[in-house]
Amino acid sequence: MSATVSDKLLAWYDSHARALPWRSTPGAPAPDPYRVWLSEVMLQQTTVAAVAPYFEKFTRTWPTVEALAAAPDDDVMAAWAGLGYYSRARNLVKCAKEVAAQGGFPDTEAELRKLPGLGAYTAAAVAAIAFGKRAVVVDANVERVVSRLFAIREPLPASRPAIRAATDTITPERRAGDFAQAMMDLGATICTARDARCLLCPLNADCRARAEGDPLELPVKAKKKAKPSRTGTAFWIEREDRVWLVKRPGTGMLGGMRALPDDGWSARGDGEGDAPVSGAWRAAGVVRHGFTHFDIELGVAVHAGDDPSPHGEGEWWPVDAIDDAGLPTLFLKAARLVLAGRETE
């Protein structure tokens, strides 16, 4: 199988590669390592459609890794707002500074692994796509394709060593970057989670799951545990058409982001903290949001007193520019709830 799979897949990729802003066309010189790295970090647990506008904004604002390294942390975090998984943004800043200090990206998988925030997958992807090094690149799409191609029936995540070993047997020495992207494209467009379009697949003759008649049964996934729920309260405090925003601690949930003050739900599970200012409060409603490991119902309380003076550090932000504050999605939902309620009054 290994002698023919890569040839078939690369021939298919030459005609069917997705046009993405961080890619070079098949067979063309490799893209800038900065663009490859940035896109791979953004694409972790995030769709191509969601990432594309963020990638365009980042590369327009900071066209080189040196420019990103020199940017204020707050500006980068604000630009990332809405993309989720904010630890990625914090690691992005750390990595950019380290790469700039080194004078550029290292070109080997082993050295890339030493950079902040680069795990096995990202290091392999950058080594293969940006530097043409042979590396075994396995993301969720590749896991699915290889599970079906080799009929690997052990449930995820226990099957990952077997999937990686099988991927290794079909990864070519030449055009390793194109091969990695071809596998991703095959999983994204042909061998998808909900469909196996086997008649269109360039590897259908080699696919063991197709031969056995059950490609959609693979990969086998362990049953998901029900996510716990949390509750909390966010506080809207307004003075002279400005709303009080705080900066969350640099580590932990939504670390380093601007946000509405809250009652400590992220630290305690259920909010029990005090309001940031005394006085009367009015309930504006509830917003709901799903994080990776839990869901939250966040009540929104609007300060109804006069001339509030919140305790602690923060900043007064123009209400009419709240979309530019870089709030995480949860708090942006809360802000929009308050403003929508104002429009209906």
Q: What is the pLDDT of residues 5-34, one digit of tens each?
A: 999 999 999 999 999 999 999 988 999 999
Q: Is 175 found in the same domain as 317?
A: no
Does the residue 285 lie in any domain? yes
Q: Give residue 190's pLDDT band: very low, low, confident or very high (50, 70, 90).
A: very high
What's the mean pLDDT in 47-54?
Answer: 94
Strand stretches in the chain, DSSP E: 229-236, 238-239, 242-247, 258-259, 281-290, 295-303, 315-318
Q: What residue numbers bound the domain in which 60 lies?
A: 2-217
CATH of the domain at 195: 1.10.340.30
Rounded distance between C-alpha atoms, residue 284 and residue 236, angstroms: 9
User: Does 224 fall in a domain?
Assistant: no
Least confident of 59-73, 245-259, 319-333: 245-259
Closest CA to 259 of 196, 329, 188, 201: 329
Q: Between these two residues, 90 and 100, which has the higher pLDDT value?
A: 100
pLDDT of residue 270: 54
> Which residues lie closer than 8 Å to 2 by C-beta, 6 or more apart?
169, 170
Q: Which among 150, 182, 217 is the end of a domain?
A: 217
Assess whether 56 and 105 both reside in one domain: yes
DSSP 292: S
Integer CA distances (angstroms), 164 to 74, 171, 259, in order: 38, 10, 40
* Cis amide leading into 157 (omega within 30): yes
pLDDT at residue 69 above 60? yes
Average pLDDT over residues 27-50: 93
pLDDT number for residue 3 = 54
Tokens of 93: 């800043």
Active site residue 40: yes
Separation CA 257–CA 318 (nearest Å): 17
Q: Using CA atoms in the order 71, 74, 78, 83, what is the torsion angle rounded to 10 degrees? A: 80
Same domain, 12 and 35: yes
Catalytic residue among 40, 238, 297, 345: 40
Residue where one domain finishes, among candidates 187, 217, 247: 217
246 and 328: one domain?
yes
Q: Residue 151 pLDDT more than 80? A: yes
141 domain-assigned: yes
Give the whole-number percent of the chain exceeding pLDDT 90: 71
Using alpha carbons, list the distances in angstroms from residue 329 to 61, 284, 334: 22, 17, 9
**Predicted pLDDT of residue 269:** 53
pLDDT band at 344 (very low <50, low <70, confident <90, very high): low
- Beta-carbon contacts of 161 under 8 Å, excluding residues fewer than 6 positions away, are none
- Contact call for residues 235 and 303 (beta carbons, < 8 A): yes
Note whether 207 and 245 are same-domain residues: no
Q: Residue 315: what are its φ and ψ, rounded to 5°?
A: -150, 150
Model pLDDT for residues 195-240, shown as the tens digit of each residue: 999 999 999 999 999 999 999 999 999 887 888 999 999 999 998 8
Provide the pLDDT for residue 310. 84
Q: Is the pLDDT of residue 273 over 80?
A: no
Q: In total, how many domains does the chain have?
A: 2
Same domain, 24 and 134: yes
φ, ψ of residue 287 to 5 degrees: the values are -115, 150
Q: What is the mean pLDDT of the chain?
A: 91
pLDDT at res. 316: 93
Q: pLDDT tens digits, residue range 157-173?
A: 999 999 999 999 999 99
Residue 27 confidence (pLDDT): 81
Statement to judge: residues 304 and 194 lie in one domain = no
Same domain, yes or no, for 254 and 291? yes
CATH code at position 330: 3.90.79.10
Q: What is the mean pLDDT of residues 54-72?
A: 96
Which of 168, 183, 217 is the last residue before a domain boundary? 217
Query: Which pLDDT value is given to residue 140?
Result: 93
Same domain, 233 and 213: no
Q: Do 68 and 213 fall into the same domain? A: yes
Bridge pairing between strands 315-318 and 242-247: antiparallel
**Residue 118: φ, ψ to 5°:** -95, 105
In terms of domains, do 138 and 35 share one? yes
Burial of 247 (0-12, 13-18, 19+ CB in 10 A): middle
Q: Does residue 222 sit within a domain?
A: no
Average pLDDT of the residues in 178-191: 96
Are both 209 and 234 inside the same structural domain?
Answer: no
